Amino acid sequence: MAVDAVTFFDRDSRPYLIREATEEDALDIITVIKEVGQEGHFIANEGEYYTLEQQRHILQNRNPAIQLILVALVDNRVIGTLEAIRGTFMKNRHVATMGMVLRPGFRGQGRGTGLINVLEHWARQHEIAKIAISVFETNVSALHFYQRHGFVMEGRRPNQFVIDGKMVAEIFMAKYIGQ
């Protein structure tokens, strides 16, 4: 079941589009993740990512009942992406684990909300009861964003990552979706 493209409006009433990623988005997805990874503070990825061929293969061959890959666009430019993968065993297929990134300069304007809203719609369609994510404890803005959107802290792994020479905890968060 495909996810329809949806137009949302940011905090300044500017439109942005959320849609499922296509093969043509492969390079843009790699670029956004690399940009955010190179910042060094928000995701574990440090800039190395899939090759263009690998990303295209993922986009071509994903099962939409198991994996969702979204892009956020402003003026037809990819400014963010979200990927969610549901558990593949009967015991965990009610859980989808997600990751989300927005380009520098496009954060803090309400655009992540559209990505989360479309993800939740997909989760309901596929009888997913829980959306999970992990966040660095130092990424305070992301922690607050997810809390505002109904995520709760479920646990933490102290000293799991080293960022700028300092050990940082990984915070596990989840949102439970009503069917």
Each residue's pLDDT tens digit, 60-99: 999 998 999 999 999 999 999 999 999 999 999 999 999 9
Q: Which domains does the chain have, with CATH numbers?
A: 6-176 (3.40.630.30)
Which pLDDT value is given to residue 62?
93
Show the beta-strand stretches assigned E in the chain: 6-9, 15-20, 67-74, 77-86, 95-102, 130-136, 152-163, 166-176
Other Cβ atoms closer than 10 A to 140: 10
Name the percent of the chain in helix, strand, coil, to the closest 5.
Answer: 30, 35, 35
Q: Which residue has the higher pLDDT, 67 or 43?
A: 67
Q: What is the mean pLDDT of the chain?
A: 93
Long-range Cβ pairs for the range 55-62 (8 Å, 24+): 55/26, 55/27, 55/29, 55/30, 56/23, 56/26, 59/21, 59/22, 59/23, 59/25, 59/26, 60/23
Which pLDDT value is given to residue 47?
66
Mean pLDDT of 109-120: 95
Instruction: Name the token pair of 2.
Output: 């495909």
Which pLDDT value is given to residue 156?
97
Per-residue pLDDT tens digits for 126-159: 999 999 999 999 999 999 999 999 999 999 999 9
Mean pLDDT of 15-24: 96
Which pLDDT value is given to residue 179?
53
Which pLDDT value is given to residue 45?
78
The percentage of residues in the chain with a pLDDT greater than 90, rounded to a whole number, is 81
Positive/negative CA dihedral, 96, 150, 120, 160:
negative
Instruction: Name the token pair of 168.
Output: 């940082």
Which pLDDT value is given to residue 4?
87
Model pTM score: 0.93
Which pLDDT value is given to residue 43?
83
Which pLDDT value is given to residue 39?
83
